[in-house]
Amino acid sequence: MKIYSLKGMKDYNIEKSYIWSYLFDKIKSILVSYGFEFINFPILENTLLFNKSLNNNILINQIYSFLDKNSRNISLRPEGTSCCLRFAIENGLLRGQKKKLWYFGPMFRYENPQLYRYREFYQLGIEAFGFNDINIELEILLLMNNFFKDIDLLKKLVLEINFLGSIEIKNKYSKYLLNFFKENISIFNKIYSLKEIENNPFKILEIKNEYILDFMINNMYKIDSFLTIKDKEYFNKILNLLFFFKIPYKVNYFLIRGINYYDGIIFEWKYYELKSKLSVCSGGRYNNLSKKLGGILTSGIGLAIGWDRLIEFFIIEKGYKNIKNNIKNKILVIVNNIKYIKYAFLLSENIRNLSIKLIINIDYSISSLNKKINYAIKNNFSYIFIIYKIYENKSIILIKDINNFNQKYVYSIDEVIDFIKKNMKI
């Protein structure tokens, strides 16, 4: 019987893995330049962690939870912020310190798979703890803006931004939304039941039906009507900073994150080239979550990149070819005679000892020389090293530069190393 992957679990082929590595290297270098430190935490957590952080959120029903052999209730992590904060609390990172952290890995949600949305999905998350002023918002937004610019996706994305205010304001607006729903239940009841809105009144803001959306825009108060003067001033400062640094944005008062621990600023970068305008990166402030999880009251802000979506959107815009062509210093070592294989290994190991940035493959096959050369061209190798002859004290090696159509004979491993030092970026 043939065995298939589980529903909602995705394999990544070689081509997509090239793009994965390319994007990961880009974001990693940017995170390092902004002073963020990498951490790692388990895929499995105590279910109580998510019960506390997510409480009545719809996400609770999507968590993979089960009892282990000791009857402990454990869960596959559905998101990273709660885990990162648990990590910081447990390891004493919040005691009078400011921390900027990032992490990467798979998350799991038992939901119906949709376009670029899977049951196992990858997120790259960044979190900053202990920063109370507006500068951290600016830094995080600049960081992501620079990343999207660096991978040439910025012009295809729109930064949507909103401000939720304090927990008290969220609660007031939540009551208003529930009353508005009840007063207009004849309009809404085809989309949501009263019970659904009672559980999460903010769900009303996720409605996509154009007729109902127009009705809401024209008849419903937006959250900015509930904000304090101080909140409005804070939000305007953020918008002015975005304008100053030429970061395009769109204020969306209907923007509401799916996870309900956010307060203050929230934002999403959305890919507008698709009808559904899917989010590729989202985040916001969560100043009360630490205390909720048993830590001290600590301000927090973070975001997560939906890695699977990022890869798919990148492929739509850039394709595969450009990334594979950008791989430099890829070398294929070929032997003219199978008895020279040992020497090919010796040559390859000497090159690898010179630099780990070089990619060296040895062709072990007994196919013709022309077939081997065609394979190198087809698979985007930069150079071919052909070992023609080995004597007692010297060798004959032909170096072919595929991209520049040049070739050169050398007569020892030392000469090969000298050629690499002069002609390749290592």
The whole-angstrom separation of Cα 204 and Cα 222 is 12
Residues 248 and 283 occupy one common structural domain: yes
pLDDT at position 324 over 80: no
| pLDDT attached to residue 223 | 92
Specify the higher pLDDT residue, 333 or 319: 333
Whole-angstrom Cα distance, residue 118 to residue 308? 9
Per the domain annotation, does 50 fall within a domain?
A: yes
Residues 297, 418, single domain; the answer is no
Same domain, 356 and 418: yes
Give the model's pLDDT for residue 56: 61
Max mean pLDDT range (54-63, 357-366, 405-414):
405-414
Residues with Cβ within 8 Å of 313's Cβ and at least 6 positions away in sequence, in order, are 116, 153, 156, 271, 273, 280
Rounded to whole angstroms, the Cα distance separating 6 from 107 reads 15
- What is d(CA 361, CA 363) in angstroms, rounded to the nearest whole number? 6
Q: Are 298 and 198 in contact (CB under 8 A)?
A: no
- Can you say whether the dihedral through the CA atoms of 161, 166, 167, 170 is positive or negative? negative
Q: Examine residue 349 and state whether it is found in any structural domain, yes or no.
A: yes
31 plus 159 within the same structural domain: yes
Judgement on whether residues 262 and 114 belong to the same structural domain of the protein? yes
For 204-228, the pLDDT digits (tens) are 888 888 889 899 999 999 999 999 9
- Assess whether 316 and 360 both reside in one domain: no
How would you classify residue 319: left for phi > 0, otherwise alpha for psi between -120 and 50, otherwise beta? left
Give the closest residue to 360 by CA, choosing from 329, 404, 394, 325.
Answer: 329
Domain boundary among 289, 321, 353: 321
% of the chain beyond a pLDDT of 70? 97
Q: Flag whether 213 is in a domain.
A: no
Nearest to 143 by CA among 102, 184, 175: 102
Residue-wise pLDDT tens digits, 341-391: 999 999 999 999 988 778 899 998 888 888 998 999 888 899 999 999 888
Query: What is the pLDDT at residue 74?
Result: 96
What 8-state DSSP symbol labels residue 6? P
* CATH number for 23: 3.30.930.10
Residue 376's domain comprises 327-423
CB 270 within 8 A of CB 257: no
**Same domain, residue pair 334 and 317:** no
pLDDT of residue 319: 83
Give the separation between CA 311 and CA 306, rounded to whole angstroms: 9
Q: What pLDDT does 196 receive?
A: 83
Domain shared by 385 and 313, yes or no: no
Judgement on whether residues 275 and 344 belong to the same structural domain of the protein: no
Would you state the pLDDT for residue 256?
83
Instruction: Supply the mean pLDDT for the chain.
Output: 91
- pLDDT band for 32, please (50, 70, 90 cuts): very high
Reported as a single tens digit per residue, the pLDDT across 70-107 is 999 999 999 999 999 999 999 999 988 899 999 999 99
CATH code where residue 337 lies: 3.40.50.800
Q: Are residues 141 and 62 part of one domain?
A: yes
Q: Summarize the confidence of residues 229-254 as an average pLDDT.
A: 95
In a domain, 203, yes or no: no
Specify whether 25 is located in the same domain as 55: yes
For 157-204, what is each residue's pLDDT tens digit?
A: 999 999 998 888 988 999 999 999 999 998 888 888 888 888 888 888
Within a domain: residue 304? Answer: yes
Closest to 324 measured CA to CA, from 1, 21, 7, 115 = 21
| Angle, alpha carbons 10-14-18 (nearest 5°) | 105
Q: For residue 28, is it within any domain?
A: yes
Return the DSSP state at 205. Answer: G
Residues 349, 282 within the same domain:
no
- Decide if 313 is inside a domain: yes
Work out how many domains the chain is built from and give that number: 2
Is residue 172 situated within a structural domain? no
Question: For residue 52, is pLDDT > 80?
Answer: yes
Residue appearing with tokens 């935490």: 41
Domain ends where: 270, 294, 321?
A: 321
pLDDT above 60 (res 325): no
